[in-house]
Structure 1
Amino acid sequence: MLKVTQTKNALLDGATIAEDLYRTPNDFEEFFQNLEKPDEVVAKPRTTFLRAGVLTTVRGSAYMEYGNTKVMAIVAPPHEVVRASARRMNMGSLNCYVNYAAFATGELETVPRREKQLSSMLTKALEPVVCRNEFLNFQLDVRVLIIEDDGCLLSTAINCCGVALVECGISTYDLITASTACIYRDHVFINPNAMVEELLWKHRAGHALPSSSDDTKPIQEHGLLIIASMDTFDQLAQCQQCGYLSPATYTRLLDYTLTINKGMRQLIRQVLLQRVKEQHDLDLREKAQNALEDQRLADIIERLKSQGLSELINPSNIKEDPYTSK
């Protein structure tokens, strides 16, 4: 019996040819030399745009632009878990789902693996923040859509989800903030962009050149550090490290990220306060409109009681139907 197997055409399906086949260590060395390196370390957030309540169809939503990185988070109210093991749950369940937009990346083959990894790390970061003991046997779903990735993707998603949780009315122990810092060739990059992060991943894969004249000596320190913190309790909700860092360098990068988190916390508080003021003004405006409508209906009812129905009918407004007259 003849068996036919379908072969996937990567080019027709929108995938791109892997560029690693045509790159050499000299290409990465040239890329690093042309990279803009900061003269001094400035521990402050990128240019940030943050908006809560961007979607009216869900209860909790937020949109964040951290430089050129764009992320949207959606939080729905907890729903009951229907599986049989739910009766033995002493805390609520938190599930995070991260998805790339169709136009957000060109590496289609690695997207499922990256989405799964980001979802797992995001869940670990948000679990210490949410008061899961308040919704026993219930499940909370957090969904993140990545619109554009220009570095600091996980930390941006954590910040955006923290705002969406507050917007949804989910009880949390504190506001969570996150930031990213890395070091490569003795250069510290605060809020690294996608180019710097790609250079680090390629170095871990063994494609970069050593930093000294001796080719047998590898680069000693290179790595990425992602810190999510709760400043009120001075606790770390998530710590993600990649690469090789000495204790002194690790402490230095940790101080940089915590400083950025404090600045990000102030920004998030301002956004949430502004959101509360906007909602309060909207409620007052709606309440005033309802009061005017109630007063108008009360006037009509009073006129009906005092004048009768015939007094409210204006004969000049009554016209003969042209089709009936024919």
Structure 2
Amino acid sequence: MLRVTQTKNSLLDGATIADNLYTTPQDCEEFFESLEKPSKDPKKFTPRKTFIRAGVLTTVRGSAYMEYGNTKVLAIVAPPHELMRASARRMNMGVINCYVNFAAFATGELESVPERERHLGSMLTKALEPVVCRTEFLNFQLDIRVLILDDDGCLLSTAINCCGVALVECGISTYDLITASTACIYRNHVFLNPSSKVEELLWKHRGVQIEAASGSAPEEHGLVITASMDTFDQIAQCQQCGYLSPETYVKLLDYTLAVNKSLRQLIRQVLTTRVREQHELDLREKTESALEDKRLKEIIERLQQKGLDEFIQSNIKEDPYVKRM
């Protein structure tokens, strides 16, 4: 059985198969044959089984938790705070800093984690900068922290989706909802929302092509990560790696945009449900506060009518379990 661990993957930012199971081209071929082959031209652009919850933490203002298949991500957004005097400079837009951390139980090789965390944080910052209205908090800094609990592919796109929900939960002004998805192609088969095993297969295939000394053109293989804002038909970020022809690149781009639209509908439902729950909670608290005010008003009226001593005596109750002498 293949065992997946979180190790360095500078191309795809995904999980790596442990123990170098793809050491030869024959290993790659055998693993590819064992996979369930998707359609070469997908007709259904549906995301993975997805679970999103906004406001999972009560200690912070904005938080969200997302499960995209077996990939699990937690995002936390704090309100903007003023830049440090030592590093502050007059700026016409606010600053966004994204910090990515792997949970201790989610990684196998700790020495490669810091580099992956810095790379993912940089890509996440580039994706969220076009979405946030940074002109509304000049000389302020917005910190976004992401905790990765498990990685089974589509890590960067899942983190972008989770951060988009957390930004709305925190009340940060944004131009639109941001959604992201991943698609890749290998042996003319298109994998939508690829798993970490497929991403690693692409990485190994790329290494074999680089080492090959033949003069023939390499076979098309690569991965595309697209973050988009559908209201304005804009792309916030598009990351591509591998060898793709322009026609194939456009095809994968269209596939990811179609998946993004499906995710957008799901995220809108989650946020709508969250607003409805918060509204019901506010109404309940308002009703309880009104009842408490009414009770205090009645006590004050009784105190004014009876006087302090008589009011105290009327509220003293005898203990039924104590015998009178």
Structure 2 counterpart of 1:74, from 54, 71, 76: 76
Report 1:290-309 matches (<5 A).
Answer: 290-309=289-308
Q: Matches of 2:288 and 2:150 in 1, distance apart?
A: 41
1:83 aligns with 2:85: yes
One-letter identity of the residue aligned with 1:125: A
Report 1:252-267 matches (<5 A).
Answer: 252-267=251-266
After TM superposition, which residue ranges in structure 1, 4 or more long, deviate above 6 angstroms? 207-210
1:293-317 CA-to-partner distances (Å, cap 9, x unmatched) read 0000000000111122333324863
8 Å Cα contact 1:163-1:268 kept in structure 2: yes
8 Å Cα contact 2:17-2:200 kept in structure 1: no
Structure 1 counterpart of 2:204, from 202, 205, 212: 202
**Deviating more after overlay: 172-181 vs 35-44:** 35-44
Shift of 1:82: 1.6
SS at match of 1:86: coil
Q: Matches of 1:20 and 1:273 in 2, distance apart?
A: 45
Q: Which runs of 5+ in 1 are unaligned?
A: 1-15
8 Å Cα contact 1:29-1:209 kept in structure 2: no
Q: Which residue of 2 aligns with 1:239?
A: 238
Q: Which residue of 1 aligns with 2:32?
A: 32
Distance 1:282 1:22, change over 3 A: closer
Q: Which residue of 2 aligns with 1:60?
A: 62
Q: Matches of 1:22 and 1:241 in 2, distance apart?
A: 23
Distance 1:268 1:22, change over 3 A: closer
One-letter identity of the residue aligned with 1:123: T
Distance 1:228 1:17, change over 3 A: closer
Shift of 1:109: 2.5
1:98-120 CA-to-partner distances (Å, cap 9, x unmatched) read 11111112132221111111000
Q: Which residue of 2 aligns with 1:224?
A: 223
SS at match of 2:161: helix
1:48-83 CA-to-partner distances (Å, cap 9, x unmatched) read 100000000000000000111100000000010023
Distance 1:316 1:157, change over 3 A: closer
8 Å Cα contact 1:25-1:208 kept in structure 2: no
Q: Which residue of 2 aligns with 1:19?
A: 19
Q: Which residue of 2 aligns with 1:272?
A: 271
Cα RMSD between the aligned structures? 2.5
Q: Matches of 2:17 and 2:153 in 1, distance apart?
A: 22
Report 1:83-232 matches (<5 A).
Answer: 83-206=85-208, 217=216, 219-232=218-231
SS at match of 2:184: strand
* TM-score normalized by the length of structure 1: 0.87
SS at match of 2:104: coil
8 Å Cα contact 1:128-1:237 kept in structure 2: yes
Q: Matches of 1:26 and 1:65 in 2, distance apart?
A: 34
Shift of 1:218: 5.8
Shift of 1:29: 1.3
Distance 1:285 1:179, change over 3 A: same
1:248 aligns with 2:234: no
One-letter identity of the residue aligned with 1:221: E
SS at match of 2:119: helix
Q: Matches of 2:217 and 2:60 in 1, distance apart?
A: 51
Distance 1:18 1:298, change over 3 A: closer
Q: Which runs of 5+ in 2 are unaligned?
A: 1-15
